[in-house]
Structure 1
């Protein structure tokens, strides 16, 4: 990217104040979106719709001062200095603190104590200071390792060209091309970034807190919508009895028996999806394309869907690929190509649906997707989005090629997911879900991402956790992974530890391709089955907490799974912690990632922390050695937390939500907003919800406000479960000596209440 010489055409007088936001400079434009965020772009930069969703901003008051050697642009939050004649841009906070200084275009000074976080779903590092980062959608190339996986250093399923600096700012490189980032690897005092092609175009975002940076970044690229409430329950995937090489073993009977077994064993689950082998492999693309015809071993698939819904599975979905194919009954590829709805390839009309074209998307839905949506499929797993303009996993084809394909390669997964997400939501008259392995900037609008096909080996467990932390720091909050790993039968101990983590991930998903086990919990022994059910039930009890935090994510962009640096960016101790995280605002989860370990070291940040299992209280900014026998995942609760829980159910909607328990940890002042809505419709976007504000303080005063909002919640009463040393007991209060918890029942949920505990 080459910056043209700057000619400051917009300076008329030496000092002025403008209620405007865009400044035309010879070959360059500087545009203030808000007092905290501005865009730097060359004149040929475009306002595309895939990554960025907002280009129109309210006017920003800017003070302009021109001097001999520099021009200053100052808002209420920032001072931007353009040096003459070098044209380098320096950025200061309004109080004069240097945020970013530039040596030359997109080569910026690296401050001694500066660290960088983000860049999408990366499995290599958390803090990228001193590293080189290459961003281009794909899982990496090269010969697979002996255990069947590609290099975690090259994994790039969902890159995002965005980072946040501990100096209090973030940069989003607004490009769809492959990009390169040198974060101090070549020069210890400089970092740089560039795109393979295209004009200079980036946004500078000032926080200074990471949460504020993410809030602005997601106001630019879009926020995650609320999933249906049942999507916070367990997702189970299946190869229907036959993975690759065993396709003839697939059947409707296998799927129904799997569903019945979950129900008969009392294992809560809400969503089921059928992976690749439900479909007939076509004439042209084989298993790398979708014919939308059922494999001949599937008899009466509509009856299968009807039976699954009769067993109260809330959604059932299917795996697809973006290439179309001809089958035995339908010639979808020929039809789409003849109409110009496939993306052209060299010397042929192509096989990929042109998801960039609304007309092509409408045809795809009406003539292809509807063949399965019309009999009961309610979402897709939109797999292999990375194959557009690159080598596919399941094919030796590379698809479209050339400069335009390279420009579209990274945003194709976004367009692909968007089509499926929006079409199903409209057809089902229900909030949509979409499962995808690949993504890019903006994919958070069409959730959710899962971590890809990593083998069931201990060496991949911690890198998968790291992927979840990094994608959350990049604006994508709904994220999942295959519990126990994807390929290979899992060591039962690994399966247990991975499932503990999986049940306390943003989206809980169990799925594997190992034949004949498929990561189904009863194949790993009684201890593994008991563990699976224990943590699954824990998740279902926490659904009100997860759902309220998901609403906060919709409102502000703060992810469900939070690397500790997101909340404690001034504490260098957390910069490289990749095996602990906050789930929502209050619960710190500490997975055990070493085989045979029955203890692990945990870092407790500032504040007080309570051991979830024992109730022991710890002062923060210290390390503790946590006992972690195989059935115990170390969990710590932030003091002052208020955590809403509910009765465990086998699926969301089984029980009417009339009673909520509030777990209160009053070792510090606390505040929580309990969010409720109908769980399914888009009404929440028009205010159809209720918020109940709950506070507690260290003096023992608990206040529950009357609910506010248009929605009339089904919740009738609260039970207060207060984690405290034995207080003075009032009539109708109960104290459990063993758990050190005070219970106060039947607090009305529809009006204001205040309780004082001595």
Structure 2
């Protein structure tokens, strides 16, 4: 929201008051916090303290590398929930100090410092990170409050019912600084120049709306900011004042945390501690998911035909997904298969699994109840549904006729809903697609626990997915539950996974989705997926095949559409050539399976460190390369693989390789960076490059794992042993029974890396261990 008209004028219809001076500073007794009293005019005599507003700015050392800043106008405002759960795993210790010198007061949280100017100086708070790096600051006229419509005297604020009140801060954007994250946003990767509203909405992927608004952003200067409120937040990112990032909320308080790096990995690791680390997902979830699509007509016979067709094509399906119409029309959601289409769901699911047609089964659901649902009357009578202020159940005809919303602030409603989920698990369902959760009303509603409707709008997605995830974790165990969710907010990373929502079947929408995935990964989420081929429309065969390459190199991969199916033979009239849709899909399913051990290993590190597995923005791995902060058409899969999807029908693609030697995983060709590369790829190929110094665990069809080294030169084979031993300690290599003795493992060094080429370099038992000694991986490593 803009409060000014250019640099000199206040916006029409607005009154603004700024913190002009730090009048006094109070140290908290534990020496971990400062409270600043900041009047909105400079105080030169006693009379100046009258008829004047103040802002209280509380600064606290929260954790090493994290400082919170909270600006408050009227402290008596009721603090309604919900609130983000901070440090859900445990509150950390912090090494905090307060020092005062030369009219400056410095609060430190480890190496991160906040320096406050004294009363005789203009208002200013400077933030510096490790090694004295300048991060950002709050300068003159950067913290304030605003009234809309404008007020002419303070007496008018006696009745605030028709007056909007905002508080805001403006942190400085440095020269060349870029800003990234804020959830799954589909516009430009760098948010500088944009006005962003954090308000979950079901708007597809071609607008400024987002399903997943996450109040966290990352700066190219090596710090991040988490805005600690689930309510609507409006940001002007260099779009009101070009040199400032303004954050505003309607209310009396605004709190955010500045998180030091110096690297993006450091920032994300600290952010994960603050809001919760992602949970692990089961191994089978990384395979191919096949959906019925949304409005297509299907029954048991259709499902069986899809799966048998995939088996005939030698394309294994790990998860089969039943989308909306497994339920009877108008009865969403009643958690019961449509008996006309699926007379024996439990039996059907068992047959699907027993015959090897798929490993697991997923079904679609949402947190709404249409009036025709057999469960509606029960839920309404028991108080499980959101109500209007007059006591009526909240209903509208958007999506489902007479639709109501489950009130997850009611513990009894949560237990009831979890019982419905458990009933699905009882018949063999393994995963739940938790769709919707964005269009949650913020006016004329009352939540069971008294939560503020404006704050609940975004936070509802957290409650909804937490409820379902808890039921599944109770059944399957920690790390074995997995959702397929659309809506999210800060903290939702604990309940994986999420997918990118409704994209069109166009190359532009594929690029939009990629940008959304990059921003989402920079917001603390480890796992992400996309509807391969696009959701809306019918993808032309060339685009489907290019999207297959993109989608199979995301952390999770699902074929899904709206009113058209995504089985490959339906895309190109069952073209049986080596560049037909069936062959292309088979190729990339095989590539992902071959990389399975690597993906699992990188997933474990991603969960541990708060990193995205895929899509991982290039700047996470190469923060010192300025080009990496602008790359929005390529990504990393884990720490060692670059993926550059192809968006052109002729197969042409341009991408960037950072410094070092890079080897094509598909062709074996070696290229040097840093430089831009132009290539033309067949439909069954994509730029997929391996980082120098990588030892990839590769899984063969039979399950055996071998390790292949990239960029290891002759005479440097000892590095392989070091990498492998370190990898095992870090659980980077998934080890099965065939690898219980390291002497059975052969590590091949790519010929392109050898000098001279005639010298074959392998790592055998003599390299890995004395010949007479067998090295095994014990249970402690495997656990």
Q: What TM-score do you get using the length of structure 1 for normalisation?
A: 0.82
Q: 1:726 to 1:560 in 2, by over 3 A?
A: closer
Partner of 2:721: 702
Written as runs of structure 1 = structure 2, the 5 A alignment for 1:181-580 is: 181-197=235-251, 199-239=253-293, 243-244=294-295, 249-282=297-330, 289-290=333-334, 292=336, 294=338, 296-312=340-356, 313-325=358-370, 331-347=374-390, 348-350=392-394, 351-366=404-419, 368-389=420-441, 404-429=452-477, 431-515=480-564, 517-521=565-569, 523-524=571-572, 525-526=575-576, 527-561=580-614, 562-580=616-634
Would you say the 8 A contact 2:83–2:229 is kept in 1?
Answer: no
Would you say the 8 A contact 1:116–1:166 is kept in 2?
Answer: yes
Aligned length: 677
- Rounded Cα–Cα distance in structure 1 between residues aligned with 2:231 and 2:433: 25
Q: Is the partner of 1:469 in helix, strand or coil?
A: helix
The alpha carbon displacement at 1:613 in A equals 3.1
- Rounded Cα–Cα distance in structure 2 between residues aligned with 1:479 and 1:726: 34
- Rounded Cα–Cα distance in structure 2 between residues aligned with 1:22 and 1:54: 22
Would you say the 8 A contact 1:641–1:664 is kept in 2?
Answer: yes
- Rounded Cα–Cα distance in structure 2 between residues aligned with 1:708 and 1:214: 23
Would you say the 8 A contact 1:605–1:621 is kept in 2?
Answer: yes
Which range moves more in the overlay, 22-31 or 605-614? 22-31
- Rounded Cα–Cα distance in structure 1 between residues aligned with 2:110 and 2:541: 57
The alpha carbon displacement at 1:167 in A equals 1.4
Q: 1:435 to 1:61 in 2, by over 3 A?
A: same
- Rounded Cα–Cα distance in structure 1 between residues aligned with 2:712 and 2:746: 19
Q: 1:298 to 1:180 in 2, by over 3 A?
A: same
Partner of 1:63: 97
Would you say the 8 A contact 1:387–1:399 is kept in 2?
Answer: no
The alpha carbon displacement at 1:199 in A equals 2.1
Q: Is the partner of 1:101 in helix, strand or coil?
A: strand
Would you say the 8 A contact 1:661–1:718 is kept in 2?
Answer: yes
- Rounded Cα–Cα distance in structure 2 between residues aligned with 1:318 and 1:371: 12
Q: 1:3 to 1:415 in 2, by over 3 A?
A: farther
Would you say the 8 A contact 1:705–1:752 is kept in 2?
Answer: no
- Rounded Cα–Cα distance in structure 2 between residues aligned with 1:47 and 1:556: 29
Q: 1:175 to 1:545 in 2, by over 3 A?
A: same
Q: 1:503 to 1:112 in 2, by over 3 A?
A: same
In the alignment, structure 2 segments of 5+ residues that lack a partner are: 1-15, 38-55, 144-168, 395-403, 778-783
The alpha carbon displacement at 1:614 in A equals 3.3
- Rounded Cα–Cα distance in structure 2 between residues aligned with 1:179 and 1:360: 29
Q: 1:549 to 1:726 in 2, by over 3 A?
A: closer
Q: 1:458 to 1:708 in 2, by over 3 A?
A: closer
Partner of 2:61: 32
C-alpha offsets along residues 164-193 of structure 1, whole Å, 9 cap, x if unaligned? 111111101011111111111222222211
C-alpha offsets along residues 671-707 of structure 1, whole Å, 9 cap, x if unaligned? xxxxxxxxxxxxxxxxxxxxxxxxx946665344395
Which range moves more in the overlay, 208-217 or 460-469? 460-469
C-alpha offsets along residues 228-263 of structure 1, whole Å, 9 cap, x if unaligned? 011111111114xxx53x6xx431222222222222
Would you say the 8 A contact 1:346–1:400 is kept in 2?
Answer: no
Partner of 2:775: 751
Q: 1:293 to 1:742 in 2, by over 3 A?
A: same
- Rounded Cα–Cα distance in structure 2 between residues aligned with 1:133 and 1:627: 37
- Tell me, yes or no, if structure 1 residue 99 matches structure 2 residue 139: no
Would you say the 8 A contact 1:664–1:721 is kept in 2?
Answer: yes
Q: 1:166 to 1:504 in 2, by over 3 A?
A: same
- Rounded Cα–Cα distance in structure 2 between residues aligned with 1:744 and 1:340: 66
C-alpha offsets along residues 528-568 of structure 1, whole Å, 9 cap, x if unaligned? 11010001010011110000000001110111121112222
Partner of 1:756: none
Would you say the 8 A contact 2:135–2:221 is kept in 1?
Answer: yes
Would you say the 8 A contact 2:80–2:451 is kept in 1?
Answer: no
- Rounded Cα–Cα distance in structure 1 between residues aligned with 2:696 and 2:17: 52
- Rounded Cα–Cα distance in structure 2 between residues aligned with 1:641 and 1:321: 42
Which range moves more in the overlay, 87-96 or 183-192? 87-96
Q: What TM-score do you get using the length of structure 2 for normalisation?
A: 0.79
- Rounded Cα–Cα distance in structure 1 between residues aligned with 2:698 and 2:685: 20
The alpha carbon displacement at 1:467 in A equals 1.0
The alpha carbon displacement at 1:353 in A equals 1.5
The alpha carbon displacement at 1:599 in A equals 2.8
Partner of 2:13: none
Partner of 1:676: none
- Tell me, yes or no, if structure 1 residue 620 matches structure 2 residue 695: no
- Rounded Cα–Cα distance in structure 2 between residues aligned with 1:164 and 1:496: 33
Q: Is the partner of 1:334 in helix, strand or coil?
A: helix
Partner of 2:218: 164
Q: 1:723 to 1:99 in 2, by over 3 A?
A: same
Partner of 1:15: none
Cα RMSD (Å) of the superposition? 3.3
In the alignment, structure 1 segments of 5+ residues that lack a partner are: 13-17, 141-149, 392-396, 649-654, 670-695, 730-734, 754-758
- Tell me, yes or no, if structure 1 residue 630 matches structure 2 residue 683: yes
- Rounded Cα–Cα distance in structure 1 between residues aligned with 2:305 and 2:595: 28
Q: Is the partner of 1:200 in helix, strand or coil?
A: strand
Written as runs of structure 1 = structure 2, the 5 A alignment for 1:33-182 is: 33-41=62-70, 42=72, 50-54=84-88, 57-67=91-101, 69-85=103-119, 88-93=124-129, 95-103=131-139, 104-105=142-143, 106-140=169-203, 150=204, 152-182=206-236
The alpha carbon displacement at 1:50 in A equals 4.3
- Rounded Cα–Cα distance in structure 1 between residues aligned with 2:274 and 2:211: 22
Q: Is the partner of 2:218 in helix, strand or coil?
A: strand
Q: 1:627 to 1:293 in 2, by over 3 A?
A: closer
- Rounded Cα–Cα distance in structure 2 between residues aligned with 1:728 and 1:192: 55
Q: Is the partner of 1:409 in helix, strand or coil?
A: helix
The alpha carbon displacement at 1:622 in A equals 1.1
- Rounded Cα–Cα distance in structure 2 between residues aligned with 1:75 and 1:53: 16
The alpha carbon displacement at 1:198 in A equals 5.8
- Rounded Cα–Cα distance in structure 2 between residues aligned with 1:121 and 1:371: 32
Q: Is the partner of 2:424 in helix, strand or coil?
A: helix
Q: Is the partner of 1:410 in helix, strand or coil?
A: helix
Q: 1:752 to 1:46 in 2, by over 3 A?
A: farther
C-alpha offsets along residues 372-422 of structure 1, whole Å, 9 cap, x if unaligned? 22212222111111122279xxxxx99989993221010111111111111
C-alpha offsets along residues 173-223 of structure 1, whole Å, 9 cap, x if unaligned? 011111111111222222211123462111110001001000111111111
